């Protein structure tokens, strides 16, 4: 399977990948929380259509900025609705092509299987030095984390312990590598097949943060790319929705 995950590309190299579209490959910008699911989606796409994906992951806000600056993407899978709506308004995406592909869930996670309790009470204790989260200005999951901390009345208490990642992917890596004992991450990063892969987690109640509806949109560049069109169609199919749910999303 031809699949690669890359860092966001500057607009200056936008033409470097233009030759790939004829070969049935789509250039896809994907919010970091969806890194693992998009690999599974890509496998299904290749098996059923022969098309392949080249994937760039990052914070939604940064991917949006890359697209505005001319990055050569065919499809954006954002972690919110604002980015896709803005791209349609900006005339950079096909009008009316935006749709919800997942609803994300925020969790508090630790690589230590005994660190995070089922009620999130660890946040009120002294059993950790660092708490990771994503940049709330560019990552919707980071914004959700800030909302959660605020509603719990812990902003002043936790501020000295916060470690901010550029994306939810970096926030996860802080915890995964032990640079932070706990962190607010996407459930999809720690779940697979409907089960917690490792560590311990608290599923943050939805009442503590705004819903994380994740929208995808077909960009103008992708409208004439069969691989991009096929991906958009696949993401809206019943079978792929079941796969996405297995990573902890609601549909």
Tell me: do 228 and 112 sit in the same domain: no
Q: Are 203 and 187 in contact (CB under 8 A)?
A: yes
Residue range 114-121: average pLDDT?
96
Query: Are the C-beta atoms of residues 148 and 208 closer than 8 Å to each other?
Result: yes
Whether residues 66 and 99 share a domain: the answer is yes
Give the model's confidence band at 163: pLDDT under 50 very low, under 70 low, under 90 confident, else very high. Answer: very high
| Dist CA 78 CA 33 (whole Å) | 9
Q: Which residue has the tokens 């590309």?
A: 9
Asked if residue 24 belongs to a domain, the reply is: yes
Structural domain includes residue 250: no
Tell me what pLDDT residue 3 has. Answer: 53
> From CA 40, how far away is CA 38, in angstroms rounded?
5
Domain CATH for 203: 3.40.190.10
- The mean pLDDT of the chain is 91
Q: Name the DSSP class of 117.
A: -
pLDDT at 11 over 80: no
Q: Are residues 93 and 169 in the same domain?
A: no
**Structural domain range at position 33:** 3-103+211-245
Say what the pTM is. Answer: 0.83
Number of domains in the chain: 2
> Looking at the structure, do residues 85 and 180 belong to the same domain, yes or no?
no
């Amino acid at each position: 399977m031809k699949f690669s995950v890359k860092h966001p590309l500057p607009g200056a190299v936008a033409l470097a990948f233009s030759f790939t579209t004829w070969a049935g490959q789509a250039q896809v910008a994907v919010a970091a929380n969806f890194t693992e699911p998009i690999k599974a989606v890509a496998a299904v796409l290749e098996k059923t259509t022969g098309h392949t994906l080249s994937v760039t992951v990052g914070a939604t806000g940064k991917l949006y900025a890359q697209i505005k600056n001319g990055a050569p993407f065919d499809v954006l899978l954002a972690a919110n609705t604002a980015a896709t709506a803005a791209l349609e308004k900006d005339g950079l995406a096909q009008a009316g092509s935006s749709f919800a592909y997942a609803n994300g869930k925020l969790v508090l996670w630790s690589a230590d299987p005994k660190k995070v309790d089922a009620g999130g009470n660890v946040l009120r204790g002294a059993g950790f030095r660092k708490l990771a989260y994503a940049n709330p200005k560019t990552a919707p999951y980071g914004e959700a984390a800030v909302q959660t901390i605020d509603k719990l009345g812990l902003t002043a208490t936790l501020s000295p312990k916060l470690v901010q990642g550029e994306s939810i992917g970096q926030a996860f890596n802080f915890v995964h590598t032990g640079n932070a004992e706990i962190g607010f991450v996407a459930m999809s990063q720690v779940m697979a097949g409907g089960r917690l892969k490792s560590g311990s987690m608290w599923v943050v109640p939805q009442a503590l943060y705004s819903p994380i509806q994740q929208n995808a949109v077909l960009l103008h560049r992708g409208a004439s790319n069969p691989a991009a069109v096929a991906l958009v169609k696949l993401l809206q199919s019943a079978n792929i929705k079941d796969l996405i749910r297995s990573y902890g999303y609601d549909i």
